[in-house]
Amino acid sequence: MRAPELAAHLKAGMKPVYLIFGPEEYFRTQALRLLREKAEGAKYDVSELDGAELDPRKFFDDLRTPSLFAPDRLVIVEHAEMLFGAPLQGLIHYATKPSQRTVLALAAEELKAKGPKRGPRKKKEKEESPADLPTLLHKVTPVDCPVLNRRELPLWCMARAKELGKRMDPAAAGMLIELAGTNPGALSGQIDSLVSFCKERPSISSDDVSRLVGGDHMRTIWELLGAVSERKPAAALRALDRLTRDGEYTASGMIGYLSQEVRRTLIVKRLHDSGAPAAKIEQATHAQGWLIEKILRTSRGVSVEELKKHLHLLVQADYDIKTGAGGDGWVMERLVMQLCGGK
């Protein structure tokens, strides 16, 4: 099962051995939290260990030893990769016949053996036993914690909102990801805030996301892009001043963000001008329909050729900042004037 499914799974009780693995730290942390809360609610003795500090043989024996503090217990082992090398056969043996009074939760970033750092291995030195991880996976309850892709994240956001008693439509989820990023931890925190913000209302709308998550700095970014498109240097400079004053972005950060948006705008306009269907544009840009419409509105006064020139100007400004060819403020003001068509 995947980590988001664990909460439903635990309603039927806990299994003897869990293997929580995958690169997404947020999901690994959440899975352990759910197990911990379930165990504490049932008055289990809970202990947390580090796989790098364990004596494997003693550890497996201790798992069968009753706790002095409660009839049942939960043992959490972080950095369980340390048990996937030479100790793996002992772990498989335990998982085959686990203690009925102990829940073991193993957390690992990847299904790959790790061990203490050593010097160069001698030629005749016996290699550690190969990691028979597929056998282990058949003996435990695996909880996969992958990094979600851009197609999976909106569904996860909607499911997370539903857990908290709110509906969230795909447009609102897409806007949330665009504004808050792709980190599940950050997204979860924003969803918690949106649930509180909506109070008694049953659903979270795109307008709610824009008002609460977008914040002034995101609106200012779009104002800057719009002013550049409409060749309004005064408005663009005012937006730049607000971004600089608020400290949301460094000069290099603003150039990086603007470069990303110009590249995406270039792709959208090229495809749109060639008559490509909306689905193809969404697939090429990983953007929701609402965002594509906003990009087209914001860039209606600028051509594809001008966008290419904008990219060159952004590259030059980035180079000038990194080489000290001018102060950050001066370089950014000059860039905005050039983007608006000035000299």
Enter the CATH code of domain 217-339. Answer: 1.20.272.10
Distance between CA atoms of residues 8 and 48, nearest Å: 24
Confidence grade of residue 118 (pLDDT, cut at 50, 70, 90): very low
Average confidence (pLDDT) over 181-199:
86
Total Cβ atoms within 10 A of residue 10: 16
Mean pLDDT of 279-290: 78
The helix/strand count (H/E) of the chain reads as: 16, 7
pLDDT score at 130: 45
pTM above 0.95, yes or no: no
User: pLDDT tens across 21-63, in order?
Assistant: 999 999 999 999 999 999 999 999 999 999 989 998 899 989 9
The two structure tokens encoding residue 291: 């965002």
Q: How far apart are CA 133 and CA 153, in angstroms?
A: 29
In DSSP terms, 182 is beta-bridged to none
Distance between CA atoms of 136 and 99, rounded to whole angstroms? Answer: 16
Could you say which of 3.90.1560.10, 3.40.50.300, 3.90.580.10, 3.40.190.10 is the CATH number of the domain covering 3-144? 3.40.50.300
Q: Any idea which architecture 152-204 has in CATH?
A: Orthogonal Bundle (1.10)
DSSP tag of 1: -
pLDDT surpasses 80 at 216: no
pLDDT for the residue numbered 115: 61
Q: What is the pLDDT of residues 218-271, one digit of tens each?
A: 677 778 888 888 889 999 998 888 888 766 567 887 888 788 888 888 999 999
Mean of the per-residue pLDDT values for the chain?
Answer: 86
Given pLDDT bands bounded at 50, 70 and 90, which one contains residue 121? very low
- Split at pLDDT 50, 70, 90, the class of 127 is very low
What does the pLDDT read at residue 247? 63
182 contacts 150 by C-beta, under 8 angstroms: yes
Please report the pLDDT score of residue 179 as a whole number. Answer: 78
Cβ atoms of 290 and 175 closer than 8 Å: yes
For the chain, domain boundaries: 3-144, 152-204, 217-339
Highest mean pLDDT among 109-118, 182-191, 308-317, 322-331 belongs to: 308-317
Q: Is the dihedral of CA 47, 51, 54, 55 positive or negative?
A: positive
Rounded to 10 degrees, what is the CA torsion of 137, 96, 103, 57? -100
As a whole number of angstroms, the distance between CA 146 and CA 5 comes to 13
> Could you give the CA distance from residue 83 to residue 63 in angstroms, rounded to a whole number?
14
Note the pLDDT tens digit of each residue in 198-211.
888 899 998 888 77
Six token digits for residue 305: 């050729």
Q: Determine the Cα–Cα distance for residues 103 and 33; give it in Å rounded to an integer.
A: 14
